Amino acid sequence: IPNRFAGATVVVTGAGSGIGKATATRLLAEGARVIASDLDAERLDALSVEVGDLPLTTVVGDVSDDAVIAQIVEVGEGRITGLVNNAGIMDAFVPTAEIDDALWERVLRINVTAPMKLMRAVLPAMVEAGHGRIVNVASEASIRAGASGTPYATSKHAVVGLTKSTALFYGPAGVRVNAVAPGAVATNIEAPFRSELGAQRLGPIMQATVPAPATAEQLAASITWLLSEDSANVNGALLMSDGGWSTI
């Protein structure tokens, strides 16, 4: 394994499970210091045990909470060079007429507002350093409707606008901001490709188009590529990492 991230300090949200955990593990293996955030303290404890002596700092709490964001910045001590806005939640495949306000607000808060607030919090130090790398985790639901209910599709479309706009404003300052769109990935999230509710709500046609699920490690490879210098000329991009699902 190359040592692409020596000297980097990277924040990964939702690092207790799935794509976030695989990304944090890969970054640590390649020399980064990682600040891992998750709602779930037990999952973060398990990650700490798995990575042993590698430089991992954990922050427990809801990443849409201002106090948790302040804590992440504080443990970063002004040295945060990378951010992976990965924490996200699904929406139980809810169609528009059935959305209740609490679900709508929760999905938008965690999937859109939290990434905005975290970028807002880490950008000043990145601009001062003239260097920063941000990856926002979007979704197949960023480009089509058939992968989720309405709140989630809306939130993940918004992640693309958030990514492009931030890339436009901060690219000249040396900060690259990209998004990765996972298709089906085997994690703990309730996704349509394996759920009965997904089949009921979205129908068999959508389910039949979904390719075999990717591994979280495959997504970590795409995310760390966007964080690395191999993607030096890429800014504001939405990288489909979906096994070709979007070609159908």
How far, in Å, are 54, 140, 163, 218 from residue 160 at the CA level?
A: 33, 11, 5, 21
C-alpha 25/C-alpha 199 separation (Å) is: 33
Which of 2-10, 18-26, 204-212, 224-232 is the region at the interface with ligand NAD (rule: CB under 6 A)?
18-26
| 43 is an interface residue for ligand NAD by CB under 6 A | yes
Which of 116-124, 125-133, 163-171, 180-188 is the region at the interface with ligand NAD (rule: CB under 6 A)?
180-188
Q: Scanning the structure block, which residue is given the tokens 């798995």?
A: 50
Q: How far is the CB of 184 from ligand NAD (least distance, A)?
A: 5
* 152 annotated active-site: yes
Q: How far is the CB of 153 from ligand NAD (least distance, A)?
A: 11
Identity of the residue, 110 or 237, whose beta carbon is nearer to ligand NAD in the bound complex: 110
| 185 is an interface residue for ligand NAD by CB under 6 A | yes
Q: Using alpha carbons only, how large is the chain's radius of gyration in Å?
A: 17
| 188 is an interface residue for ligand NAD by CB under 6 A | yes
Q: Which of 9, 12, 14, 27 binds ligand NAD (CB under 6 A)?
A: 14
Q: How far is the CB of 241 from ligand NAD (least distance, A)?
A: 9
Identity of the residue, 14 or 76, whose beta carbon is nearer to ligand NAD in the bound complex: 14
CA angle 19, 22, 24 (to 5 degrees): 105
C-alpha 46/C-alpha 131 separation (Å) is: 32
Q: Which of 26, 82, 84, 88 binds ligand NAD (CB under 6 A)?
A: 88
Q: How far is the CB of 191 from ligand NAD (least distance, A)?
A: 4
For residue 70, what are its two tokens? 């302040």
Structural contact between residues 30 and 2, judged by C-beta atoms closer than 8 angstroms = yes
Q: Which of 184, 220, 237, 240 binds ligand NAD (CB under 6 A)?
A: 184
Which entry of 8, 56, 73, 152 is annotated as an active-site residue? 152
DSSP, res 214: B
Q: How far is the CB of 69 from ligand NAD (least distance, A)?
A: 10
Nearest Cα to Cα of residue 17 among 193, 221, 188:
188
Structural contact between residues 171 and 123, judged by C-beta atoms closer than 8 angstroms = no
Beta strand ranges found along the chain (DSSP E):
9-13, 33-38, 56-60, 82-85, 132-137, 175-182, 238-241
Active-site amino acid positions: 152
- Would you tell me which residues interact with ligand NAD (CB under 6 A)? 13-14, 16-20, 37-40, 43, 62-64, 86-89, 110, 137, 139-140, 182, 184-185, 187-189, 191
